[in-house]
């Protein structure tokens, strides 16, 4: 019988499957995708129901197939799983879309990938982090790059899921949907590879590939949660929000009520308008209003800020901590390497990047206490001090600031003395300007006129001209070529270079700092990560470890590794190591 690698696996003869696997073995690369249950994979509750493979060979075109192994019915013999395991674990190049998910999913089938792989989601992000605006999902990328809408779910398929549930989907129904996912992944890889080669991104990919493995390990471990504290703080926060609403006689979460209080009663300016010309109270507008309320002498302003604080902490922290907790009492967030244009990790389900470093606020002062170690361990945090400012000073060649950093003196106290400003205001001014704020932003932050804010800005740059010079240089390059290179040689692209040029220097600093943290975490993983010293979380510029009691000597190694930033920027990158929450 002639072997036909195009025959759906659930209908295929042994000869057909052998034909497919022989062809796949000889293909230069394989696109791989898994279909899993909707249960969490990383804590052991979920599993892959099957996997699809696609490849392209001369004279045969693009070939794909779905192999079911853990559906309720219609599965292939497990002997085929062993042969597919050998194929994937030994193939020279695999292509995934969201490799971090598929690597974990494949492990539930006993397949462990340690060789070379690519991820079209991250490839697209590295080629241009700003496009498409719809996101880096497979459908969005396929529509944008391939002009393929990716509509793979038939009415029968959708109807079956609606009434029977995802877990009961049969191999027959799954095949076309799953196999087409790998078709798209393969085609995306081939399309992106052209620009990938132009930008010479292969030189950067090895680091990204290693970082994916590290995040898989960290997410699999998770972090233990004090469930009783979370439930108590959730209840207390919800009650206090109700009390504040009664005191104000309105709902601070309502745009209509906010307009009445902020615009009509407190006479605050309209900082942003909706497309219809009305006052906006979206996330960005509320950041501006919170800055104004912080310096407003009115008890209602304090109540609004308190309500907002509880609202954010309840909705972003305590509530998702409770809802997303695994049965083993640990949270497993999803770290996204493509979640920001700056290159920093983002985090979701839940967002553990929103944990404040230090807080005495009643709404989030207990937040760090919600994270607890396993018995016999202690949580430790190693935190870069003023990472972005140090990197910015190095780029700007501000020798006096570099000398302050290298000597271990307090940089904001020194700057406050030079600028004749209070330390707190100096810190606020520095970070506002570093993040691209102009006179308008300074006017809002300090409650002064635009003219006065402009004077404050000019005085700062006169004292530290290196920052202005580097900002002008970065802006010029941004306008001219539409991108800048980070120290790692990674590109930071701009969708609208002419209008975004004022953000260029800050983007290089933010992106460069993110690259420092990433590379350092990889060195930490290689040198200190073990059963006695578990890397659990990354929160902005800090790394959280769960260290076995009696093994605290590793803290000195952690500090040395983190401070020995590579390459040498000529400035000391100080790291503070302390017990979590202290």
The pLDDT, as a whole number, for residue 2 is 54
Mean of pLDDT values over 148-164: 79
User: Tokens 């040395």 map to which residue?
Assistant: 560
- Kindly report, residue by residue over 32-74, the tens digit of the pLDDT: 999 999 999 999 999 999 999 999 998 888 999 999 999 999 9
Integer Cα distance of 459 and 484 in angstroms = 28
Please, what are the domains in the chain?
14-199 (3.30.420.10), 226-324+333-370 (1.20.1060), 388-511 (1.10.150.20)
Percent of the chain with pLDDT over 70: 99
> For all residues of the chain together, what is the average pLDDT?
94
The pTM is what? 0.92
Q: Are 220 and 332 in contact (CB under 8 A)?
A: yes
Q: Give the residue carrying structure tokens 């307090």.
A: 410
Residues sharing a CB contact under 8 Å with residue 15, sequence separation 6 or more, in sequence order: 1, 3
Distance between CA atoms of 211 and 330, rounded to whole angstroms? 22
Three-state SS letters, 504-535? HHHHHHHHHHHHHHHHHHHHHHHHCCCCCEEE
* Pairwise pLDDT comparison (382 vs 9), residue with the higher score: 382
On the question of pLDDT at 3 being above 70, the answer is: no
Q: What is the dihedral of CA 554, 555, 560, 563, to 10 degrees?
A: 140
Question: How does residue 1 score in pLDDT terms, banded at 50, 70 and 90?
Answer: very low
Burial class (CB within 10 angstroms; exposed 0-12, middle 13-18, buried 19+) of 559: middle
Q: Is the pLDDT of residue 511 over 80?
A: yes
Q: Write down the residue that tokens 């009520």 correspond to.
A: 257
Res 154 pLDDT > 80? no
Per-residue pLDDT tens over the stretch 74-93: 999 999 999 999 999 999 99
């Amino acid at each position: 019988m002639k072997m036909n690698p195009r025959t759906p696996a659930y209908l295929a003869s042994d000869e057909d499957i052998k034909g497919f696997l022989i062809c796949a073995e000889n293909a230069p690369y394989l696109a791989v995708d898994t279909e899993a249950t909707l249960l969490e994979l990383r804590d052991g509750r979920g599993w892959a129901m099957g996997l699809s493979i696609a490849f392209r060979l001369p004279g045969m075109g693009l070939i794909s197939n779905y192999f079911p192994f853990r559906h309720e019915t219609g599965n292939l013999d497990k002997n085929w799983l062993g042969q597919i395991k050998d194929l994937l674990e030994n193939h020279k190049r695999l292509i995934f879309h969201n490799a971090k998910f598929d690597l974990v999913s494949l492990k539930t089938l006993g397949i462990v990938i340690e060789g070379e792989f690519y991820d079209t989601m991250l490839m697209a992000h590295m080629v241009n982090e700003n496009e498409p605006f719809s996101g880096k999902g497979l459908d969005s990328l396929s529509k944008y790059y391939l002009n393929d809408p990716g509509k793979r779910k038939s009415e029968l398929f959708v109807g079956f899921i609606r009434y029977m549930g995802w877990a009961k989907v049969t191999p027959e129904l799954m095949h076309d949907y799953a196999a087409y996912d790998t078709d798209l992944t393969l085609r995306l890889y081939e399309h992106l590879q052209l620009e990938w080669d132009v930008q010479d991104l292969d030189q950067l990919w090895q680091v990204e590939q290693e970082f994916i493995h590290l995040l898989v390990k960290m997410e699999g471990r998770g972090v233990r949660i004090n469930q009783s504290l979370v439930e108590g703080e959730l209840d207390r926060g919800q009650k206090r929000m109700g009390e504040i609403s009664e005191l104000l006689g309105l709902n601070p979460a309502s745009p209509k009520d906010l307009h009445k209080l902020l615009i009509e009663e407190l006479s605050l300016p309209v900082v942003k308008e909706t497309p219809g010309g009305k006052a906006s109270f979206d996330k960005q507008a509320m950041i501006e209003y919170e800055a104004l309320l912080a310096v407003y002498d009115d008890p209602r302003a304090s109540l609004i800020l308190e309500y907002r604080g509880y609202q954010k902490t309840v909705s972003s922290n305590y509530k998702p901590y409770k809802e997303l907790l695994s049965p083993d009492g640990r949270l497993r967030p999803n770290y996204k390497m493509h979640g920001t244009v700056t290159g920093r990790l983002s985090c979701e389900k839940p967002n553990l990047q929103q944990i404040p470093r230090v807080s005495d606020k009643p709404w989030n002062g207990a937040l760090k206490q919600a994270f607890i170690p396993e018995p016999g361990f202690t949580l430790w945090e190693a935190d870069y001090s003023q990472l972005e400012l140090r990197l910015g000073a190095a780029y700007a060649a501000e020798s006096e600031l570099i000398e302050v950093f290298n000597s271990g003196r307090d940089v904001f106290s020194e700057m406050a003395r030079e600028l004749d400003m209070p330390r707190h205001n100096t810190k606020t001014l520095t970070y506002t300007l570093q993040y691209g704020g102009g006179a308008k932003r300074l006017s809002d932050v300090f409650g002064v006129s635009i003219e006065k804010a402009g004077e404050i800005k000019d005085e700062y740059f006169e004292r530290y001209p290196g920052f202005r010079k580097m900002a002008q240089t970065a802006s010029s390059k941004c306008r001219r070529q539409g991108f800048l290179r980070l120290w790692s040689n990674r590109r930071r692209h701009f969708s609208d270079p002419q209008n975004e040029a004022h953000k260029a220097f800050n983007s290089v600093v933010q992106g460069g700092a993110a690259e420092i943290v990433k590379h350092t975490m990889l060195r930490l993983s290689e040198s200190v990560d073990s059963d006695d010293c578990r890397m659990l979380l990354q929160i902005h510029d800090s790394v959280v470890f769960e260290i076995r009691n009696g093994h605290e000597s590793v803290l000195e190694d952690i500090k040395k590794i983190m401070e020995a930033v590579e390459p040498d920027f000529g400035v000391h990158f100080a790291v503070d190591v302390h017990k979590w929450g202290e």
